[in-house]
């Protein structure tokens, strides 16, 4: 729902028709009755206290208002907060939110709503949230200690508060600073009818658990305490006990330590107890007034609690030390003075405690000095107050409100109109009441009421409130905004409402009569040194720190600045601060005096609208322009809406702005071009511009995004491509390197093989090829050596008959072994032979010859071998007779034996001796020893023998031999082999002829001219014992059986 569509009256009084007070009030009332408590005058928000919870707050509404611009939704405090916050965040302009209105008009509630809105929309995050929490939680603590129930407001702020919330460039809260103004400390000791002391006292007594109460030595019953109003201890709808818990919790959240909280509560309790210290008038009879403590117990308890000697405290309460340059004078205080001292102490302790709490909160929420920050100030200061009996407090409070009105006038009414003039915009002046003159009346440095009050306080001599009033009357006798009994009398006016000790100021919001009583005192705000010193001496860290001037060594006689001066200077600082910021106004209006919902007292509201200057405000607003901005920043902001000014503009700012607005073809009524600023009449136009800008920003953002994304993708792609190339080059390189390494290794291997092969080829002749042979040779030699050496050690016996011979260990030695065997054997034989004597040689020669002749031919030969050839079987040597037989034969008889001669004719045998000599064979008939036959060996042609074992043989003689004529001889000898061997040798020796010895079974034997054929038959074995039988078979045949 937009502002225009708002059905209940008009949402913006600028649209009010006719513009007069009556319709304005009617409009406000109509809206109020329809629960529309907020109304605009342009950008100023009017808030009428509903005195009831309306369903228009909370996250849902916050979310709604943050998404819309100011005029798009119903008037709301959130919309104002949103404008302020966005302007701070987006336009980098420090903001202040000025909340003004009477006490109970809803200022504090408004400030809380603003803060909660800002907290909800500004940045997020753990850090930010904790800052927000601290900022928000400062409220319950300050309200507990600084708010009280008054007749007008159950939760009236009894101090002024200005809070700077500090943000970073993103609009996230960093922290803040709280400044407090003039706590109404008189409330600590005295309250008006129907009012309460500060909330904390009731909260403490109601909410503290028994344990805490005991520790603080407090009683739960409020009626126990003199400083607490006995009539009102409860406020409807306010739960002191649970609020106490919230305060404790809030203090913890802000960062108060357990000890700090405890100490704060102790000091609070101390104030209550101080009120219960009853004083007694102890004036002495000599006229010296004095006072004392009525009941020591209370003082003792206090002393114990704060660690101070009770006597010391008593002394401080009941006496006063006056110090001059030379001496110290102690005077006793009378009863009233002592009571005053006690109350002053209580007020001072409490107000200092309050300041300490504010400073402690500031410590927690303060922002580092290095950070650049944007600031949003929220001012919730006590409202304009007109009480029955107005005193110094009301005076300064109203002064402050006067100053704030001044700010409003300066910044909205005056400044605006002057600006039009400056900028050369056609303008008809709107009249309004400028309260500068009232401000001057109060704050003027020489002739101001505050300055005069200070002067009066400092003046030596008798000083009293009445002397001050006299002075005022003198100075302001002609002042239009000052009245008193004296000035009235001078003008012959009669006014029964004006007391003698009063003066009246015509404030912008109404006339206020102030009672001058205790002005001096309150302005001096003196606390006797004795008291501050006593407090400083207390063994209570917090209390001690509250009274730094109590240090006895620091005895400066210089007066501290008066309360009025202090307030004036802090208001001046505040004003300076506010002027430096962009103001946002919330003007709170109280609809009735009874805190009643739905009640709208037109008279009451009329007064407020009048002094707030709402009508004038609407008039200026109507005639004027809703928005103005210097050309430079304006162009900078909206340049992007024009084709020619975006993205570059080289001309002047004003031309640029004209170009942009011209292109947008806005109606000329809506715009005015000043000398340095552009003026826009209606907010709608501005919102139109803003909306256009928002859309354009979206477009541009999309464009930037597009280009950026393109760029990012491109660079990303390029990076990837580069990386890919790099990777693949590395990979390829690596692969090639590996391949190369492999090839190289292979080449080296091949090379090595080839080289090896070549080298082996070259060197083969040197070692490899001959090795086997050499080895074989060596092995062969070594086994040969082994074999031979083994043989040497194992040679068989040298006996020639021993034919044994070790076998060859390897087959290859077979031949050699055989050879060796042969050699050995031959060697044995030779050795044997060499050892033979010549005679033995002869014998063996004969034997050899016999073997040559008969071996294998004749059966009797093997038997003959072992029998030595004896030769002489007849004993020829020793028988001379036989010797004779030999005749004249030369040489030895080779053989002498008995033989048988076979008669060739009949085959009969006869014995004969046979002698064989070198040349002859001699046959001698044994019986007829002379008859002998000599046969020359040369005539023996042939000998025949049988192959049998017999001794038969035949001597075949040559035909021509002389003997031969007789024919051949057929003989039988037992030693036929020996005989024939010797005969053979003899023939050989004698005639060099080899005698033919035939071995045959058939031979013929010649007789004279005839020949007989001899046939030898072998008889049965062993039958005859060598004896043979001859049988003549015919004449020509002889058969011999052997």
Ligand X SMILES: Nc1ncnc2c1ncn2[C@@H]1O[C@H](COP(=O)(O)OP(=O)(O)O)[C@@H](O)[C@H]1O
Q: Which stretch binds ligand X (CB under 6 A): 50-58, 388-396, 717-725, 852-860?
A: 50-58
Q: Which stretch binds ligand X (CB under 6 A): 127-135, 151-159, 364-372, 571-579?
A: 151-159
**Minimum CB–partner distance for residue 132 and ligand X (Å):** 21
DSSP 600-658: --HHHHHHHHHHHTHHHHHHHHHHS-SEEEEHHHHHHHHGGG-TTTSS---S-HHHHHH
Asked if residue 943 has a cis previous peptide bond (ω within 30° of 0), the answer is no
Closest C-alpha among 472, 477, 563 to residue 520: 563
Strands 156-157 and 510-515: unpaired
**Which of 106, 624 has the CB closer to ligand X?**
106
* Catalytic residue check, 650: no
| Catalytic, out of 69, 100, 156, 243 | 156
8 A C-beta contact, residue 196 and residue 233: yes
Q: Which stretch binds ligand X (CB under 6 A): 147-155, 398-406, 716-724, 962-970?
A: 147-155
**Minimum CB–partner distance for residue 362 and ligand X (Å):** 21
Q: Report the site for ligand X in 380-439 (rule: CB under 6 A).
A: 383
**Which of 38, 687 has the CB closer to ligand X?**
38
User: Of Mg ion, ligand X, none, which one does residue 105 interact with (CB within 5 to 8 Å by kind)?
Assistant: ligand X
End-to-end CA distance of the chain: 181
Closest C-alpha among 86, 95, 179, 180 to residue 579: 95
* Catalytic residue check, 153: yes
| Catalytic, out of 160, 383, 674, 871 | 383
Q: Which stretch binds ligand X (CB under 6 A): 49-57, 254-262, 521-529, 874-882?
A: 49-57
Distance CA 435, CA 690 (A): 36
**Minimum CB–partner distance for residue 699 and Mg ion (Å):** 47
**Which of 152, 273 has the CB closer to Mg ion?**
152
Distance CA 337, CA 426 (A): 66
* Catalytic residue check, 702: no
Distance CA 723, CA 700 (A): 33
**Minimum CB–partner distance for residue 538 and Mg ion (Å):** 33
**Which of 157, 909 has the CB closer to Mg ion?**
157
Element (H, E) at 482: strand 482-484
**Minimum CB–partner distance for residue 102 and ligand X (Å):** 7
Please give the radius of gyration of the chain, using alpha carbons only, rounded to the nearest integer.
83
Kindly state whether residue 793 participates in binding ligand X, applying the rule CB under 6 A.
Answer: no
**Minimum CB–partner distance for residue 5 and ligand X (Å):** 23
Q: Which stretch binds ligand X (CB under 6 A): 149-157, 274-282, 599-607, 791-799?
A: 149-157
Q: Report the site for ligand X in 82-101 (rule: CB under 6 A).
A: 101
**Which of 99, 344 has the CB closer to ligand X?**
99
**Which of 157, 860 has the CB closer to Mg ion?**
157
* Catalytic residue check, 108: yes
Q: Report the site for ligand X in 153-182 (rule: CB under 6 A).
A: 153-157
User: Of ligand X, Mg ion, none, which one does residue 394 interact with (CB within 5 to 8 Å by kind)?
Assistant: none
DSSP 540-600: -HHHHHH-GGG-TT----PPPPPHHHHHHHHHHHHHHHHHTSEEEEEEEE---SS--TT--
* Residue among 6, 12, 94, 109 that touches ligand X (CB under 6 A): 109
**Which of 53, 554 has the CB closer to ligand X?**
53
SS3 of 938-971: the string is HHEEEEEECCCCCCEEEEEECCCCCHHHHCCEEE
Helix then strand then coil, % of the chain, to nearest 5: 50, 15, 35
Kindly state whether residue 864 participates in binding Mg ion, applying the rule CB under 5 A.
Answer: no
* CB-neighbour burial class of residue 799 (10 A; exposed 0-12, middle 13-18, buried 19+): exposed
Asked if residue 647 has a cis previous peptide bond (ω within 30° of 0), the answer is yes
CA angle, residues 292, 296, 301, in degrees to nearest 5: 130
User: Of Mg ion, ligand X, none, which one does residue 446 interact with (CB within 5 to 8 Å by kind)?
Assistant: none
**Which of 54, 697 has the CB closer to ligand X?**
54
Q: Which stretch binds Mg ion (CB under 5 A): 88-96, 149-157, 253-261, 422-430?
A: 149-157
CA dist 864 → 35, 846, 849, 872, 1027 (Å): 180, 12, 13, 16, 17
The 895-902 sheet, strands edge to edge: 932-936, 920-925, 909-916, 895-902, 969-973, 952-957, 940-945, 996-999
| Catalytic, out of 43, 47, 49, 108 | 108
Kindly state whether residue 39 participates in binding ligand X, applying the rule CB under 6 A.
Answer: no
| Catalytic, out of 27, 39, 100, 153 | 153
**Minimum CB–partner distance for residue 107 and Mg ion (Å):** 5
Distance CA 268, CA 227 (A): 12
CA dist 616 → 434, 623, 841 (Å): 11, 11, 188
**Minimum CB–partner distance for residue 76 and ligand X (Å):** 11
**Minimum CB–partner distance for residue 110 and ligand X (Å):** 6
**Minimum CB–partner distance for residue 157 and ligand X (Å):** 5
* Catalytic residue check, 103: yes
**Which of 520, 586 has the CB closer to ligand X?**
586
* Catalytic residue check, 682: no
* Residue among 39, 82, 108, 233 that touches ligand X (CB under 6 A): 108
**Minimum CB–partner distance for residue 52 and Mg ion (Å):** 18
* Catalytic residue check, 157: yes
Query: What are the structure tokens assigned to 564, written together?
Result: 């009025």
**Minimum CB–partner distance for residue 590 and ligand X (Å):** 8
Query: What are the structure tokens assigned to 255, written together?
Result: 């960062």
* Residue among 43, 103, 203, 517 that touches ligand X (CB under 6 A): 103
Kindly state whether residue 50 participates in binding ligand X, applying the rule CB under 6 A.
Answer: yes
- Under the phi-then-psi rule, with left for phi > 0, alpha for psi from -120 to 50, and beta for the rest, what region is 856? left
Using DSSP, state whether 976 is helix, strand or coil. Answer: helix
Kindly state whether residue 157 participates in binding Mg ion, applying the rule CB under 5 A.
Answer: yes
| Catalytic, out of 43, 157, 487, 817 | 157
**Which of 52, 249 has the CB closer to ligand X?**
52
**Which of 114, 216 has the CB closer to ligand X?**
114
* Catalytic residue check, 104: yes
| Catalytic, out of 104, 624, 919, 951 | 104
Kindly state whether residue 139 participates in binding Mg ion, applying the rule CB under 5 A.
Answer: no
| Catalytic, out of 27, 43, 47, 103 | 103
* Residue among 11, 42, 75, 104 that touches ligand X (CB under 6 A): 104
Element (H, E) at 344: helix 335-365
**Minimum CB–partner distance for residue 356 and Mg ion (Å):** 21
**Which of 112, 696 has the CB closer to Mg ion?**
112
* Residue among 588, 937, 957, 970 that touches ligand X (CB under 6 A): 588
**Which of 355, 592 has the CB closer to ligand X?**
592
φ/ψ of 318, rounded to 5, equals -110, 0
Strands 969-973 and 895-902: antiparallel
Q: How many Å separate Cα 454 from the centre of its chain?
A: 68
Q: Report the site for Mg ion in 78-117 (rule: CB under 5 A).
A: 107-108
Closest C-alpha among 403, 434, 404, 405 to residue 418: 434
How long is the chain? 1042
Distance CA 96, CA 87 (A): 11
Kindly state whether residue 107 participates in binding ligand X, applying the rule CB under 6 A.
Answer: yes
Q: Which residues are at the interface with Mg ion (CB under 5 A)?
A: 107-108, 157
Catalytic site positions: 103-104, 108, 153, 156-157, 383, 385
Residues binding ligand X (CB under 6 A): 49-54, 101, 103-109, 153-157, 383, 588
């Amino acid at each position: 729902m937009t502002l225009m569509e708002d059905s209940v009256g008009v949402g913006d009084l600028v649209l009010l028709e006719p513009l007069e007070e009556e319709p304005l009030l009617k409009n406000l009332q109509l809206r109020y009755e329809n629960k529309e408590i907020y109304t605009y005058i342009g950008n100023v928000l009017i808030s009428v206290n509903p005195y009831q919870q309306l369903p228009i707050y909370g996250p849902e509404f916050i979310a709604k208002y943050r998404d819309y611009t100011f005029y798009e939704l119903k008037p709301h405090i959130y919309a104002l907060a949103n404008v302020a916050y966005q302007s701070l965040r987006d336009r980098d302009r420090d903001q202040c939110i000025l909340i003004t209105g009477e006490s109970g008009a809803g200022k504090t509630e408004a400030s809380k709503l603003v803060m909660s809105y800002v907290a909800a929309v500004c940045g997020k995050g753990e850090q930010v949230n904790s800052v927000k929490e601290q900022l928000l939680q400062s409220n319950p603590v300050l309200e507990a200690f600084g708010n009280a129930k008054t007749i007008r407001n159950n939760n009236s702020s009894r101090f002024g508060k200005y809070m700077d919330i500090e943000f970073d460039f993103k609009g996230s809260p960093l922290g803040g600073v709280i400044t407090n103004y003039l706590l109404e400390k008189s409330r600590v000791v005295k309250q008006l009818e129907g009012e309460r002391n500060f909330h904390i006292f009731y909260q403490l007594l109601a909410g503290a658990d028994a344990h805490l109460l005991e520790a603080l030595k407090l009683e739960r019953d409020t009626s126990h305490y003199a400083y607490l109003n006995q009539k009102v201890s409860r406020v409807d709808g306010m739960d002191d006990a649970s609020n106490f818990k919230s305060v404790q919790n809030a203090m913890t959240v802000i960062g108060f330590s357990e000890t700090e909280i405890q100490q704060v509560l102790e000091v609070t309790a101390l104030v209550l107890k101080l009120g219960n210290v009853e004083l007694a008038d102890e004036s002495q009879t000599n006229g010296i007034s004095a006072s004392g403590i009525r009941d020591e117990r209370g003082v003792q308890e206090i002393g114990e609690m704060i660690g101070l000697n009770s006597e010391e405290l008593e002394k401080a309460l009941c006496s006063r030390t006056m110090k001059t340059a030379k001496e110290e004078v102690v005077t006793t205080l009378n009863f009233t003075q002592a009571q005053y001292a006690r109350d002053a102490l209580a007020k001072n302790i409490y107000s200092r405690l309050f300041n300490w709490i504010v400073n402690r909160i500031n410590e927690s929420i303060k922002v580092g000095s290095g950070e650049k920050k944007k600031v949003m100030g929220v001012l919730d200061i006590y409202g304009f107050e007109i009480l029955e009996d107005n005193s110094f407090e009301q005076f300064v409070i109203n002064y402050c409100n006067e100053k704030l009105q001044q700010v409003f006038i300066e910044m909205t009414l005056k400044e605006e109109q002057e600006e039009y003039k400056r900028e050369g915009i056609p303008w008809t002046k709107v009249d309004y009441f400028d309260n500068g003159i009232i401000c001057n009346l109060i704050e003027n440095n020489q002739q101001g009421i505050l300055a005069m009050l200070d002067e009066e306080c400092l003046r030596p001599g008798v000083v009293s409130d009445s002397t001050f009033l006299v002075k005022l009357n003198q100075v302001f006798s002609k002042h239009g905004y000052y009245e008193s009994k004296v000035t009235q009398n001078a003008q012959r006016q009669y006014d029964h409402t004006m007391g003698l000790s009063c003066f009246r100021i015509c404030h912008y919001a109404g006339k206020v009569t102030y009672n001058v009583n205790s002005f001096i005192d309150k302005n001096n705000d003196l606390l006797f040194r004795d008291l501050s010193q006593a407090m400083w001496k207390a063994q209570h860290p917090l209390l001690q720190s509250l009274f730094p001037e109590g240090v006895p060594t620091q005895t400066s006689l210089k007066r501290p600045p008066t309360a009025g001066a202090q307030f004036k200077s802090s208001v001046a600082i505040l004003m300076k601060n506010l002027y430096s910021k962009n103001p946002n106004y919330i003007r709170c209006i109280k609809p009735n005096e009874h805190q009643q919902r739905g009640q709208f007292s037109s008279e009451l509201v009329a007064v407020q609208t009048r002094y707030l200057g709402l009508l004038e405000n609407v008039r200026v607003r109507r005639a004027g322009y809703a928005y103005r901005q210097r050309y430079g920043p304006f162009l900078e902001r909206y340049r992007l809406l024009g084709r020619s000014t975006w993205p570059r503009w080289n001309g002047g700012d004003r031309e640029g702005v004209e170009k942009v607005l011209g292109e947008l073809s806005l109606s000329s009524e809506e715009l005015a071009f000043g000398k340095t600023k552009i003026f826009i009449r209606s907010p709608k136009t501005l919102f139109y511009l803003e909306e256009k800008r928002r859309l354009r920003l979206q477009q541009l953002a999309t464009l930037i995004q597009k280009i950026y994304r393109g760029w990012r993708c491109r660079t990303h792609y390029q990076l990837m491509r580069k990386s890919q190339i790099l990777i693949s080059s590395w990979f390829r390189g690596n692969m090639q390197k590996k391949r190369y390494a492999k090839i190289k290794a292979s080449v080296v291997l091949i090379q090595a093989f080839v080289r090896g092969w070549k080298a082996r080829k070259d060197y083969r002749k040197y070692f490899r090829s001959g090795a086997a042979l050499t080895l074989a040779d060596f092995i062969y030699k070594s086994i040969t050596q082994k074999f031979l050496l083994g043989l040497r050690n194992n040679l068989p016996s040298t006996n020639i008959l021993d034919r044994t011979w070790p076998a060859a260990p390897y087959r290859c030695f077979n031949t050699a072994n055989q050879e060796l065997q042969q050699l050995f054997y031959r060697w044995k034989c030779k050795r044997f032979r060499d050892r033979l004597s010549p005679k033995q040689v002869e014998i063996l020669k004969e034997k050899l010859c016999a073997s040559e002749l008969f071996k294998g031919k004749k059966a009797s030969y093997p038997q003959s071998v072992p029998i030595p050839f004896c030769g002489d079987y007849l004993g020829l040597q020793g028988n001379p007779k036989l010797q004779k037989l030999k005749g004249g034969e030369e040489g030895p008889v080779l053989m002498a034996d008995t033989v048988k001669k076979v008669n060739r004719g009949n085959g009969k045998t006869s014995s004969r001796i046979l002698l064989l000599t070198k040349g002859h064979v001699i046959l001698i008939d044994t019986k007829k020893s002379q008859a002998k036959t000599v046969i020359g060996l040369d005539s023996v042609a042939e000998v025949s023998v049988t192959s049998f074992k017999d001794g038969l043989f035949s001597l075949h003689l040559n035909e021509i031999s002389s003997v031969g004529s007789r024919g051949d001889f057929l003989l039988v000898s037992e030693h036929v082999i020996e005989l024939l061997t010797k005969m053979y040798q003899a023939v050989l020796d004698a005639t060099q002829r080899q005698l033919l010895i035939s071995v045959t079974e058939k031979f013929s034997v010649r007789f004279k001219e005839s020949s007989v054929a001899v046939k030898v038959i072998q008889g049965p074995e062993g039958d005859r014992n060598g004896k043979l039988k001859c049988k003549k078979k015919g004449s020509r045949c002889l058969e011999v059986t052997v």
